[in-house]
Structure 1
Amino acid sequence: MIIPSRPLSATRPSTNSASAPANTARVTPKAFSSVSTFEAGPSAKKAPTTPTTPVPAPQVPVEDVPPKSDPRYDGLKDQALINALHDAVSKHKNLGYDQARKIIFTTLDNHDGVVTCVYTGKELKTNKIPSSNVMNTEHTWPQSKGATGAAKADLHHLFPTDSKANSVRGNYPFGTVTKVKWEENGAKFGTDAQGRTVFEPPDAHKGNVARALFYFSTVYNKSIPANDEAVLKEWNKLDKVDAAEVARNDAIETYQQNRNPFVDDASLADRIADF
């Protein structure tokens, strides 16, 4: 399970209150093997006015993207690298949870009026925040494990998921399921080889999960247990950064004024022995 807080020598800078630019290009998610479509029902919550004007999503290919090295991290590893990464990206705009959800469902993960669940591949036609009984917001790092305050609204670890998959995952750690109790579209829930109850995302989202958790651990000074970290580092290599993930990172930067450095350069994770 994910456990809180490791000491960090660097003090996290205060939140930046700068406003985000008005227009943001949206991204095309990775392909899913099995997709169904459902509509937002009449119980869907009415969302405030969209923060930005939606624009047509660029059609980006699903392919591996070469890493972008940053000279600020040259020669650094372990805690020294964690500190440098923290100093570089922890200062960002706190959008607030309602605003973050609005962005996810109307622009960031909305492509031509459709939002796709990152676990099941189910699609939702919507132009507003849907009913949580239909599609919800997945906190890759669970709220019950420390995703509170500004962390609750941090887009770098938030993704759209249908309500059933969101409920199944709950706050269980991620891992490789060997005894399946539930599965859909490659997502699985059950127990791993050690008998732990874990949730396994589909292959197309495994790397995204790993890089989101590496980011969260670095920015919010949270430790990742060794067993979890080993699996995440495997997934980071298995599901490499693609153009869609880079485009999402770019888009989030326009809202929060910070990036996930593990998307820019996934190899950074290998230079940290213990998150």
Structure 2
Amino acid sequence: MKTPLLYFISICFMQLTFSQVVINELDCDTPGVDNMEFLELLSDTPNFPLDGYVVVFFNGSSSGMNSSYFTVDLDGYETDINGLLLIGSNSVSPVPQLLISENVIQNGADAVAIYQADDTDFPEQTVATIDNLVDVLIYGTADADDADMIAIFNQDPRFASIQQINEGPGNNTNSIQRFVDMDDNVSYTATTPTPRQLNDGSGVVLNGVSISVAQTQYNEDDSFDITFTTETPVTEALNFNILLDNFGFNTSDFTGNTMISIPVSQSMASTTITLVDDIDDEGDEVTRIRFESLPAEYLELNSNLEIRIVDNDFTMANFGTPLNPTFGNVISTQPTGYYNSLDGLADTDLRQALQDIIADPNVVRAQTYADVLDILVDADQNPLNSNQVWLLYTEQGRAKLDLQTGSDNNGKWNREHTYPRSRGGFFDIEEDEIADGIDVFWTTKADSLRHGNSDAHALRAADGPENSARGNQHYGQYTGPVATQGSFYGDVARSVLYMEIRYNGLQVVNGFPENGAGELGDLATLLDWHRNDPPDDFEMNRNNIVYNWQFNRNPFIDQPDLVEYIWGTNVGDTWDQQLSVSEFDANAIKIFPNPSKGTISIKGLENEAELSVFSIEGRQIKTVVLNEDRLLNLNVVSGIYVLRIASKNKTTTKKLIIE
């Protein structure tokens, strides 16, 4: 058993008589994902209103410079029957009266202070001060003393002898607790946490109540029981209400009793909730089970239990996933003449003209990094299930509700930069945290490299652990998870090639450069991926959706041949939209059925053409000369293939699924 670490600080002037509220307990570091951190305040008298008080956390690291990083406004809150107010995440038990996000409180060496002030008095990065100071605790987790922070608070005579208190090493199981002896001397002890309890064991003992359910996910039309259990039998009937509403989920979505009663001498009660099976496609929803009117003598041991309600009324798109693609069902929404300025140009002139279109500061808009989430739930929606997003590398659907919001990414999806931030030089600013909608935007231009951080053409929904595994590897080094079929290869290639043209300072190069600022590889790999995995309906649909937000398009989805004129086999040739597109129209040539059992029909050929069949890895399997529309037996095994059709020095590619 770990022996408590005792810190006796004889600071006689730190007495309760000097203030009405003090820092009573702090748990700044917990094992694992740091979701159980909390701060507890103590007032002289019970049920003390905290209007006019604010809690400020200060960063004592060399980069933090003893300035504020998190502020909690206490207006509207009051301490409980024991004079306690607990501040922490919903993962803390008992549930704090004041909820904050998980993993917010830093480990140290840092400080937390109470002021008689307003939260607006402490914007982020405000240097620690003794003005209007009520109480302060300087703490760490086996860190060296923060002498600068100590010196700041030493200026207040009440804290002239303040010391830094050690909670223990990293991932410790302690909290720092405040004690006052008979002579009003204050000491601190690092020991087992006691949230919502007085540190000396005195005060009113509150009876804890917990909520439990059998599962965390149900379908519409299911029924489930919610059970409520007290720590000790109640001495008089306990009556309280519960709430289940949460955003769009409300009383029209369920039936059941929400008024709960635990009889005298009992410790348990339950209610049955039945979910309504409607015909509306509302998307998957989440109910949050929580107490509404629990008497003051009871503690909420847990609350805000989230139960997912799976909507069975999801819709399907008229096009396929990248794994089973379709072509020609989604039409580009590019404005008439969008690419006309490219005609007759080559080399650097062609590059510049293309950048002038997709980075035009008079037209193109940049959104926040938070807005990207709203873009992705539409742009990356799973064509097979409107309640899911399609994950880039792992080639699967995942519930939109499984967005990563904390440090745990298992089973979650998040935003993947196809052009890694560390290689591109993108970064966040504070305003990036605000999702302010489609009509609020930044003006942006080719030199606005920072906006690459939130450019939705280069951000995709991805599995959290796989995103971490990819890291900032170059493509070619990274080829995706084992056993996936590479359905994302062309998408990724066109995404990063777009970034090179869109932003000055980025370059896609051959090889795997490690020191080149703004460089990403491997160009040869990406060109192969582009050629062997042509744009499909899924990619065109997301191009259209992103265009609605950003007012620019990925030209290599609309005009895939442009890749050859800038990086490939046609470098130096003059681009002519009519010759490159109209004379050999990919949409005019139809290959069906797709998927196929092995025999396909080819329609729309106007001249002799050569059809080449490639495996998804790029290996050429066979070549056939076609003089007219015909039925063709490919005689290949099941899998994904790329058909390249060449006629009069023009080519087009189509993806084919063989079942």
**TM-score range normalised by the length of the shorter chain:** 0.5 to 0.7
Q: Deviations over 1:219-274 (max 9, x none)?
A: 11211112311111111110001111111101111111110011101110111148
Number of residue pairs matched? 205
Tell me, in whole angstroms, the C-alpha distance in 2 between the residues paired with 1:121 and 1:203: 8
Tell me whether 1:255 sits opposite 2:533 in the alignment: no
1:201-220 equivalences in 2 (<5 Å): 202-220=485-503
Q: 1:108 to 1:95 in 2, by over 3 A?
A: same
Task: Say whether the 8 Å CA contact 1:102–1:128 is kept in structure 2.
Answer: no
With the length of structure 2 as denominator, give the TM-score of the two structures: 0.29
- 2:390 aligned partner: 116
Tell me, in whole angstroms, the C-alpha distance in 1 between the residues paired with 2:548 and 2:539: 15
- 1:183 aligned partner: 481
- 1:224 aligned partner: 508
AA of the residue aligned to 1:86: Q
1:128-139 equivalences in 2 (<5 Å): 129-131=403-405, 133=409, 134-139=412-417
- 1:63 aligned partner: 326
1:98-117 equivalences in 2 (<5 Å): 98-105=370-377, 107-111=378-382, 112-117=386-391
1:5-24 equivalences in 2 (<5 Å): none
- 2:342 aligned partner: 73
AA of the residue aligned to 2:468: S
Tell me, in whole angstroms, the C-alpha distance in 1 between the residues paired with 2:543 and 2:326: 15
Secondary structure of the residue aligned to 1:183 is: coil
Equivalent residue in structure 1 for 2:453, among 152, 172, 175: 152
Q: 1:127 to 1:216 in 2, by over 3 A?
A: same
Secondary structure of the residue aligned to 2:508 is: coil
The structure whose residues are more often strand, as a share, is 2
Tell me by how many angstroms 1:164 deviates. Answer: 1.1
Q: Deviations over 1:137-162 (max 9, x none)?
A: 11000111123421110000100111
Task: Say whether the 8 Å CA contact 1:102–1:129 is kept in structure 2.
Answer: no
The structure whose residues are more often helix, as a share, is 1
Tell me by how many angstroms 1:176 deviates. Answer: 6.3
- Uncovered stretches (5+) of structure 1, i.e. residues with no partner: 1-38, 43-54, 187-201
For CA contacts below 8 A with separation 6 or more, give which structure has more relative contact order.
1
Tell me by how many angstroms 1:80 deviates. Answer: 1.1
Task: Say whether the 8 Å CA contact 2:395–2:487 is kept in structure 1.
Answer: no
Q: 1:63 to 1:224 in 2, by over 3 A?
A: same
Tell me, in whole angstroms, the C-alpha distance in 2 between the residues paired with 1:173 and 1:124: 26
Tell me by how many angstroms 1:56 deviates. Answer: 5.5
1:233-248 equivalences in 2 (<5 Å): 233-248=527-542
Secondary structure of the residue aligned to 2:488 is: helix
- Uncovered stretches (5+) of structure 2, i.e. residues with no partner: 1-284, 289-313, 428-449, 512-521, 572-659
Task: Say whether the 8 Å CA contact 1:77–1:271 is kept in structure 2.
Answer: yes
With the length of structure 1 as denominator, give the TM-score of the two structures: 0.66
